Amino acid sequence: MAMVTAVPARSRQEERSQQTRQRLMAATVECLAELGWSGTTTTVVAERAGVSRGAQLHHYRTRAELVLAAVEHLAEVRREEVLREAAALPAGENRTAAVLDMLARLYTGPLFQAALELWVAARTDQELRAAVVPLEAKVGRESHRLTVELLDADESRPGVREAVQATLDLMRGLGLANTLTDDGARRSRLLAEWARTLDRTLGRAAPNRTGATKKGTREAP
Amino acid sequence: MAMVTAVPARSRQEERSQQTRQRLMAATVECLAELGWSGTTTTVVAERAGVSRGAQLHHYRTRAELVLAAVEHLAEVRREEVLREAAALPAGENRTAAVLDMLARLYTGPLFQAALELWVAARTDQELRAAVVPLEAKVGRESHRLTVELLDADESRPGVREAVQATLDLMRGLGLANTLTDDGARRSRLLAEWARTLDRTLGRAAPNRTGATKKGTREAP
């Protein structure tokens, strides 16, 4: 009988622990995006998450541990959101532009800003850097795989793998260009052209540029 | 007679002042690149430059003033270096690849790292941000003009202006991808493909991809 009631009790405890961790991770990314690396202290994060310092220390012993877990977890959550959102995207000739628009929103949002703070702090902190390098590699691989999937890109075609990589490097650059001022109007024009270029590399007919003819813009199949 | 000797004396004094400012600015960019924003204190910079604290305060009253002057000045110095170096670049079909390679070296060097530290610090510091926003706009305009000149790009051609902008956003993204690990091998492959794509947008025949035919890669003139 003791065994029967002990199981749900432990399970409730585990659920509470998981909720605490998720609140701490969400608060960490918020703090990084709003206050930067130096403003993201464990005290500020615990306050914002409404979690006691004791409970926080139980789950994450150091600031680095908390921040790394937060960026990794939130990147996974965003990836799943993007995949769900992608199911509603158009399948026709405007799909590439829609995918780029979705990626651009991700790279100009709080998760990119949080990751930027972590990456830059790790640049001049050897201990942090050792932990961030494998995380960067993991996030990089998963972002690449996600983009290939969203674009339905055939990487056996010459130049396609590099074009997918360039798309993600471009997104990082656009995220950086948007950190101090709203770069939205320039970004939209730029991505409309990038979509056309990318479609040609992917071996698809690009939609017409308004007011231009299709002459010379199709690539032979 | 007093007037005659006073002029060279003042001029020597001005020359010494200019040398002091240049030593301080060079040391600031070095510190930002090596130690990051938080490690770049006025004390550390003065020590590295071999300049007294009094002389430093005479030229730059605050850390923000020093850092802004340093990034602006060094960006101008690098731009002139790039223009000089560009005079030696090939003029033929490999010019675009050579220009991209030169830009990539700039965006993976200490000036980019210093600017990155300044941009990221300004993201969450309102006072600094107000000063960095006009500097970012100025550096952005000048980098664009430089790239148009190096590529001899005709911006009246549809898509060319956006392709030049995308090239610089891509460089920023590649700079960021290189901050924690050496990304050189991936970057070379990626830029070789981007040179081909860019040449098509610029209205030029791209050089052959090794092992591939030119079929379908030329754009109608």
**B183 pLDDT higher than 70:** yes
Q: Which residues of B touch A190 (CB under 8 A)?
A: 162, 165-166, 169
Distance from CA of A123 to the nearest CA of B (A): 6
Distance CA B167, CA B143 (A): 11
Distance from CA of B177 to the nearest CA of A (A): 7
Query: Buried b / exposed e across A95-126, counting CB within 10 Å, b at 16+?
Result: bbbbbbbebbebbbeebbbbbbbbbbbbbbbe
Name the architecture of domain A10-201.
Answer: Orthogonal Bundle (1.10)
Best residue in A124, A171, A204 for a mutation probing chain B (most B CBs within 10 Å): A124
Nearest to B112 by CA among B68, B171, B27, B60: B171
Which residues fall within 8 angstroms of residue B10, CB to CB, at 6 or more apart?
none
**What local confidence, expressed as pLDDT, does residue A7 receive?**
61
Q: Which residues of B touch A159 (CB under 8 A)?
A: 193, 196-197, 209
How confident is the model over A194-207, as pLDDT tens digits? 999 999 999 987 66
**What local confidence, expressed as pLDDT, does residue A220 receive?**
38
Q: Which residues of A touch B219 (CB under 8 A)?
A: 216-217
Q: Name the residue of chain A whose CA is nearest to B221's CA.
A: A216
Please tell me which of the candidates A119, A179, A186 has its beta carbon nearest to residue B179: A119
How confident is the model over A28-44, as pLDDT tens digits? 999 999 999 999 999 99
**What local confidence, expressed as pLDDT, does residue B156 receive?**
96
Q: Which residues of B touch A178 (CB under 8 A)?
A: none
The encoded tokens of residue B173 equal 């993204």
Contact between chains at B176 and A179 (C-beta distance less than 8 A): no
**A18 pLDDT higher than 90:** yes
**B85 pLDDT higher than 50:** yes
Nearest to B50 by CA among B10, B20, B75: B20
Mean pLDDT for the stretch of residues A144-156: 95
Mean pLDDT for the stretch of residues A35-55: 96
Contact between chains at A192 and B162 (C-beta distance less than 8 A): yes
| Residue B216 pLDDT grade (very low, low, confident, very high; cuts 50, 70, 90) | very low
The encoded tokens of residue A40 equal 């993201």
Return phi, psi of residue B177, to 5°: -70, -15
CB atoms within 10 A of CB A180: 19
B208: amino acid identity, one letter: N
**A87 pLDDT higher than 50:** yes
How confident is the model over B20-67, as pLDDT tens digits? 999 999 999 999 999 999 999 999 999 999 999 999 999 999 999 999
CB atoms within 10 A of CB B165: 23
Mean pLDDT for the stretch of residues A85-98: 88
**What local confidence, expressed as pLDDT, does residue A210 receive?**
59
Q: What is the mean pLDDT of chain A?
A: 89
How confident is the model over B97-123, as pLDDT tens digits? 999 999 999 999 999 999 999 999 999
Percent of chain A with pLDDT over 90: 76
Distance CA A93, CA A204 (A): 8
**What local confidence, expressed as pLDDT, does residue B8 receive?**
74
Mean pLDDT for the stretch of residues A164-181: 97
DSSP one-letter string for A9-58: HHHHHHHHHHHHHHHHHHHHHHHHHHHHHHH--HHHHHHHHT--HHHHHH
